[in-house]
Amino acid sequence: MCDTFVVMPDVTRDGSIIFGKNSDREPNEAQTIELIPAMDHSTGSRVRCTYIDIPQVEHTYSTLLSKPYWMWGAEMGANEKGVVIGNEAVFTRLPAARVPALLGMDMIRLGLERAATAHEALHVIINLLETHGQGGNCSSTTSLYYNNSFIIADASEAWVLETVGKEWAAVKVKRGVRSISNAITISNEWDLCSNDLVSTAIKKGWCKKAEDFNFGRHYSDFLFTTFSDAHSRQRCTTQLLESSNEVDIPFAMKVLRSHGLSSNDDWSPDKAIFGATVCCHEGFGPVRISQTTGSMVSRLRVGEEPVHWITGTSAPCLGLFKPVWISSGLPDLGPAPTEKYNPDSLWWKHERLHLLSLMNYQKYLNLYRSERDALESRFLQEAEAGPSLEISQDCFRAEEEAREQWYEWARQAGIKNTARFYFKNTWAGFNRSAGMPED
């Protein structure tokens, strides 16, 4: 499960467009940060995506990607032209195709590599969808198939694109905030749609006549959409963002760290079997099966290179957002992670602290919350100087030093493991699977 939002200039502090996304995947499905350089390609060449290969274009733009370690595509990303894209799984009455095709994550990367504006990226994805279709297993360890929705933005405009098979509808976001969370949000008003969107629903018997058509109501699968808590998470991000008329980067980060509108100082990820939150934590059983494995916030402002704030780690409530610019390049993040523990990988370094903190969430978080906030405030001030690899390196280095210190504090604090048995046992299984060392 995931959450993606965009905030338009009329409600941001500095008149920028702000994009944010939490990528929720399986525990141990490490997410890697990659910067793909711009490239020229020979006529007639092809590109291999996760499952299929398609014709390549003559030139691809440089792209910053946050992606599950095993797939070609990305959960979220940006390109050198200032376009950002994030996607959501949507569960629908028209089953997702199981035959290999393009994943929604492939379409994100292809859209970023091929489009100079958000509007152009919208049409790149639509053309890919209609030409090649979407389909294939979206999991590396189990069977997971879904259709996709997207938020696509640049410094001038933003779009929501929601798809089922090869049918789709798109809405231009004109003002305020817009959030998507694993459910179709477009109802009976859109700016663009596929030719057969309405007629397909009528032929299937989901809708009697065109005048009654509602995309979300007539195409959504009730069971999966309900148990994903999509509507409650979308309501949470929307209400939080609408509560401020001056949304800025720190506020967007706060939204991605949210555990619900009513969460308080006694909230803990082990307390419930049901219920997903924006900052998502794997629980026990067949419902809470996702974990936030990467997060990103981008500021898009006309005439200025976007700054992208990435965690490169799981659980933003326990981590830090660091600034990167495409023109400056990435710091050394260590070896790309896999599903197995690697003490030299950024993602797995953080996972040690994350997994320890889960066992008595509030007490561990209180050990270093104030330092986390102070560090992030420092990063925000430094980033105002503009694109700089040195600034990015300093922020990642400061995070590394802080994480090691926090981990030692946590080990020496003598905090009792109070996690409920079923939660503790579930995570013990994940840890064994990843080869995590025991403390």
pLDDT of residue 284: 73
List the structure tokens of 305.
Answer: 């290179």
Burial call 172-192: b when 16+ CB within 10 Å, e when fewer: ebeeebbbbbbbbbbeeebee
DSSP 342-355: -TTSHHHHHHHHHH
pLDDT of residue 431: 94
pLDDT of residue 240: 96
pLDDT of residue 261: 78
Q: What angle do CA 134, 137, 116 make, to 5 degrees?
A: 45
pLDDT of residue 285: 66
Q: Under a CB-based contact definition with an 8 Å cutoff, are residues 2 and 26 in contact?
A: no
Helix (H, G, I), strand (E, B) or coil at 224: helix
Q: Under a CB-based contact definition with an 8 Å cutoff, are residues 73 and 85 in contact?
A: no
Cα–Cα nearest to 64, from 391, 305, 319: 305
Helix (H, G, I), strand (E, B) or coil at 433: helix
pLDDT mean by block of 10 residues, the chain; 439 residues = 94 98 95 98 97 98 98 98 97 93 98 98 98 96 94 98 98 98 95 97 95 95 78 94 95 95 80 81 77 97 97 96 98 96 96 94 94 97 97 98 95 91 91 90
Q: Name the residues annotated as catalytic.
A: 2
If you search the block for the tokens 């291999």, which residue do you land on?
A: 48
